Amino acid sequence: MTPFPLANNAHGDYRSGVVAIIGPPNAGKSTLLNYFIGQKIAIVTPRPQTTRNRILGILTGESYQIILLDTPGLHQPRALLNREMVRTALDTLAEADVVLFLADATVDDPERLEEFRGEFSRYLGNIRCPVILALNKVDLRDKETLPPLLDWYASLYPFSAAVFLSALSGEGTGRLLDELVRFLPPGPMYFPEDMPTDATERFIAAEIIREKIFLLAREEVPYSTAVMIDSFQESPDDRAPVVIHATILVEQPSQKGILIGRQGRMLAAIRKQAVPDIEEMLGRRVTLHLWVKVKKKWSKNERILRELGLSK
C-alpha cells in the first residue's frame, strides 16, 4: 500500500497495518467491525455465512491506523460460491500483519469443539504473523465457565494474546484494541483519518438490501439470492433523493414468488427496511426501486460471481 500523502510519522512511534478478522460463521466478525468503525459498513444477521465479500474498515487513532479486513466465515465449502467465500478469507491472510481469530464463546460443547479442531488447525497453521484470540459473546454466559474454554483454544494454537469480549455491548473491546495496536508494526497512515472504509456506496447499498432479505425471508431462500445495483443516480441538489435501481437475483421461479410475496408485500417490506439504513449511510433521502429476476444457477456462474466481486 502507498502511504497517505498527508501522514506524519516524524516521531517514529506511529503504528499501522492490516488486521484480518477470521473465524467460524456467525462468530460476530461483522458486528465487531461495525463497532470499531462506529457505523454500519458490514451487514449483520443471526444467520451464518451472511458475509460473502472481504470488507475493509479503517480505524484511525492518534498513534495508529488499523486496516480491518472482515472476511467470510471459515467453513467446509461445497458449492462454487462457498469455495470462493473461503478462498477470499484465506487470501486475506497473505495481506495481514496481525490475524484476529474471533470465536463464539457460547459454543463450548466438547464434542462440537472437537469437530472444529482439525478445520481450525488447518486454517491457523498457514498463518505466519501474530494471531490474537478473541472469544466473543461473553455477555451471554457465566464468566466462571470461560477458563476451560480458553484452555481448549490454547491447546489448539499458540495465540499471541487472548481477550474476552462482547462485540455487541463493547465489553472487552478496549483491551482488544490495545492488543491489536501492540502487535502492529511501525508504519505510516495509509488512508485519510476520516475515511471509514474503501467500500463504495453502491456496494454497501447492495449489501444492506441483501441483509434485509436474510432477515425477512425464510429457510434457504436468502442463500440463493444476490443483489446487483443497476443504477445509482445522485442529483446535485442535496434536497433531491438518490434514486437507486437494484435487481435481486434468484435461482428458481418459486424463490422469485417468495421474495415478491402476495400482492408484492415481501418486496415492499425489503424496500421499507432497506431505505432507512441506506439513507443513514448516504445522509440523504433515497428512492429505492427493486426487481426480482430469475437467473438459474447464478451461484455457479463465474462471470456473475466476478461481477459481484466474489471470484477472481
Residue with cell 497512515: 189
How high is the pLDDT of residue 87? 59
Burial class (CB in 10 A: 0-12, 13-18, 19+), 132: buried
Residue 294, SS3?
A: strand
Question: For residue 271, what are the CA distances in angstroms to 199, 244, 255?
Answer: 21, 11, 17
Cell numbers at residue 222, please? 436468502
pLDDT at 9: 43
Distances (CA, A) of 300 to 80, 84, 224, 247, 253: 6, 10, 11, 18, 17
Which helix (H) or strand (E) is 267 found in, with range?
A: helix 265-282
Taking the C-alpha atoms of residue 132 and residue 97, their distance in angstroms, rounded to an integer, is: 11
User: What pLDDT score does 8 carry?
Assistant: 42
> In order along the chain (312 residues), what is the average pLDDT of each group of 10 residues?
45 85 87 92 74 82 93 54 57 82 91 85 86 95 90 93 95 96 94 91 93 89 90 92 96 94 96 96 96 89 80 60
Q: What is the pLDDT of residue 6?
A: 40
Q: Where are the strands (E) in the chain, listed by range?
A: 15-22, 55-60, 64-70, 98-104, 131-136, 161-164, 226-233, 242-250, 286-294
Specify the pLDDT at position 72.
64
pLDDT at 48: 64
CATH code, 201-307: 3.30.300.20
As annotated, the residues of the chain forming the CATH 3.30.300.20 domain(s) are 201-307
What CATH fold (topology level) applies to the domain 15-183? Answer: Rossmann fold (3.40.50)
For residue 75, the model assigns a pLDDT of 41
**CATH 3.40.50.300 residue ranges for the chain:** 15-183
Assign 261 to helix, strand or coil. Answer: coil
